[in-house]
């Protein structure tokens, strides 16, 4: 009796697999020993690899996304006309036997030949450059925050409890007082006179908190940290200039983006870490070709900047459905079903900067005082499953809304819209009156209202 066999068709006949390394790259164009070669990581080695692949008539290549070592090789292969698939390492690790670089590249080549590897998401070139500036700026902000904590520590060691009377020691009042302390001023009354008029504490309260013990070693360390903080703020301002130039280049090179214009939104708060000299409301409206993402409640300038720099409009359109976009962000439950029973429905582990930005926006939605559709959705999930689940669910809903707005060009409709404080009060009073009239079945004629 003949045995039945199932053969897998070769989907990519002229395929190669590359195992990326920090010191060398191993390339396999087949499963035989002579089909594997090792190349260095220098620029001439990368071009030599591309020439060898071209000689062997290779058309498509698969490689792992190992750290940042793949980026230069990826750029060289794309420039030479190869079809390059960058795949997640977790999809190529299940190899039998002892693990070696040679076996790894042959395993990647075999999987790619059979069409079992899928490509990871990669943004376009302009978005990638904008992402570099924005990520570097975010790192500088984290370093500045760390420096701020060190300044607060040395102030506390000097017995200058500025953190008790001032909400932010790096605000207008705090920085002015710290600079004066570093310049040698020790009189608490004179230091308290530098209070900004918006500060809630009085000058008397501030003066009580600014009686130093006079330690010179702590004062020296405070001066050093202040210089570091000023240096980082200068670097952040330089990043803002580069980000603005990059945004202008992208918009000016596309007539479809350049033609759009939207009115400013004065009700949107500007965080102190938001780029000050960039109209992100207008830039995001132009970058997404007339889609007003700032119309969504809870969306901040930092959130739209993360959208523009992490994926961009072309990146969002790469996802076939909104569910694919939410799944890529790891905001959708990963259902594991066996025997008709759901074993697990947890959200997959892992995070990226865009997911963090959307979760921050979802948290801001949960803190809104006025009732909105997204805020009500947040509180329903919060009541049933807790705040962490509510943040994840609302962030996923935000991702679905953003995909539909960008891809389908459908505007976001909030039934109430954005209202100023006096408008909110008037609307609230009107709602309460109507509710009372309906509750007691009062006829408007009984109240003396004239009806026509």
Query: Does residue 293 fall inside a structural domain?
Result: yes
pLDDT tens digits along 400-414: 999 999 999 888 887
Lowest mean pLDDT among 193-207, 225-239, 337-351, 412-426: 412-426
403 and 423 co-located in one domain = no
396 and 275 co-located in one domain = yes
pLDDT band of 193, cuts 50, 70, 90: very high
pLDDT tens digits along 61-81: 999 888 889 999 999 999 999
Please compute the mean of the pLDDT values over residues 236-259 and round it to a whole number: 94
Q: Which of 87, 113, 139 is the last residue of a domain?
A: 113
What crossing angle do the helices spanning 216-252 and 172-182 adopt, rounded to 10°?
130
Rounded to an integer, what distance in angstroms lies between the CA atom of residue 435 and that of residue 129? 54
310 and 284 co-located in one domain = yes
What crossing angle do the helices spanning 43-55 and 70-79 adopt, rounded to 10°?
50
Q: Which of 66, 81, 113 is the last residue of a domain?
A: 113
277 and 394 co-located in one domain = yes
240 and 320 co-located in one domain = no
pLDDT band of 371, cuts 50, 70, 90: confident
pLDDT of amino acid 1: 42
pLDDT tens digits along 103-141: 999 999 999 999 999 888 999 999 999 999 999 999 999
Tokens 């214009």 found at: 261
296 and 395 co-located in one domain = yes
Number of domains in the chain: 4
pLDDT of amino acid 277: 87
**DSSP letter string, 258-285:** HT------TTS---TTS-TTS-HHHHHH
Q: Is the pLDDT of residue 334 over 70?
A: yes
380 and 427 co-located in one domain = no
Q: What is the CATH number of the domain that holds 95?
A: 3.30.420.140
Query: Does residue 118 fall inside a structural domain?
Result: no
Average pLDDT, rounded, for the chain: 89
Please compute the mean of the pLDDT values over residues 322-342 and round it to a whole number: 88
Tokens 């007539």 found at: 255
Query: Does residue 396 fall inside a structural domain?
Result: yes
Cβ–Cβ < 8 Å for 365, 358: no
Query: Does residue 9 fall inside a structural domain?
Result: no
Q: Which of 62, 91, 113 is the last residue of a domain?
A: 113
pLDDT tens digits along 138-181: 999 999 999 999 999 999 999 999 999 999 999 999 999 999 99
Query: Does residue 259 fall inside a structural domain?
Result: no
281 and 223 co-located in one domain = no
pLDDT band of 391, cuts 50, 70, 90: very high
Query: Does residue 346 fall inside a structural domain?
Result: yes
- Cα distances from 348 to residues 263, 316, 343, 398, in angstroms, run 39, 20, 14, 18
394 and 445 co-located in one domain = no
pLDDT band of 390, cuts 50, 70, 90: very high
Tokens 């001023």 found at: 185
Residues 6 or more apart whose CB falls under 8 angstroms from that of 385 comprise 393
101 and 144 co-located in one domain = no
321 and 428 co-located in one domain = no
Query: Does residue 227 fall inside a structural domain?
Result: yes
40 and 135 co-located in one domain = no
Q: Which domain holds residue 431?
A: 419-452
Query: Does residue 296 fall inside a structural domain?
Result: yes
């Amino acid at each position: 009796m003949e045995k039945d066999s199932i053969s897998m068709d070769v989907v990519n006949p002229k395929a190669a697999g590359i195992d990326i390394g920090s010191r060398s790259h191993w390339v396999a164009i087949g499963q035989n020993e002579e089909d594997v070669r090792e190349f260095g990581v220098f620029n001439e080695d990368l071009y030599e690899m591309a020439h060898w692949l071209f000689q062997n008539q290779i058309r498509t290549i698969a490689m792992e996304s190992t750290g940042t070592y793949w980026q230069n090789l990826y750029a060289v292969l794309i420039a030479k006309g190869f079809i390059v698939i960058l795949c997640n390492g977790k999809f190529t690790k299940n190899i039998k036997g002892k693990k070696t670089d040679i076996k790894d590249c042959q395993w990647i080549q075999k999987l790619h030949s059979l069409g079992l590897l899928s490509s990871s998401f990669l943004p376009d070139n302009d978005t990638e450059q904008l992402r570099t500036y924005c990520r570097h700026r975010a790192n500088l902000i984290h370093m500045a925050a760390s420096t701020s904590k060190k300044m607060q520590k040395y102030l506390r060691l000097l017995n200058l409890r500025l953190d008790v009377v001032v909400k932010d020691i790096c605000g207008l009042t705090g920085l002015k007082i710290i600079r004066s302390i570093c310049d040698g001023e020790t009189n608490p009354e004179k230091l308290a006179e530098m209070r900004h008029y918006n500060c809630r504490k009085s000058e008397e309260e501030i003066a009580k908190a600014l009686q130093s013990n006079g330690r010179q070693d702590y004062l020296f360390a405070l001066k050093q940290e202040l210089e570091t903080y000023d240096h980082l703020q200068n670097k952040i301002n330089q990043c803002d200039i580069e980000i603005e130039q990059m945004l202008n280049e992208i918009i000016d090179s596309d007539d479809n983006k350049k033609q759009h214009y939207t009115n400013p939104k004065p009700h949107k708060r500007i965080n102190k870490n938001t780029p000050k000299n960039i109209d992100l409301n207008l830039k995001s409206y132009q970058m997404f070709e007339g889609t007003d993402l700032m119309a969504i409640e809870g969306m901040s300038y930092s959130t739209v900047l993360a959208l523009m720099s992490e994926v961009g409009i072309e990146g969002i359109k790469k996802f076939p459905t909104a569910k694919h976009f939410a799944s890529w962000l790891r905001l959708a439950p990963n259902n594991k079903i066996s025997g008709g029973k759901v074993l697990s429905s947890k959200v997959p582990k892992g995070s990226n900067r865009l997911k963090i930005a959307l979760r921050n926006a979802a948290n801001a939605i949960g803190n809104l005082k006025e009732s909105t559709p997204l805020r009500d959705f947040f509180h329903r999930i919060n009541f049933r499953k807790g705040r962490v689940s509510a943040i994840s669910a609302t962030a996923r809903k935000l991702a679905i809304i953003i995909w539909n707005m960008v891809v389908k060009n459908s505007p976001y409709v909030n039934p109430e819209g954005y209202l100023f404080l006096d408008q909110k009060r008037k609307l609230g009073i009107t709602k309460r009156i109507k509710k009372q009239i309906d509750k007691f079945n009062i006829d408007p004629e009984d109240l003396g209202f004239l009806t026509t």
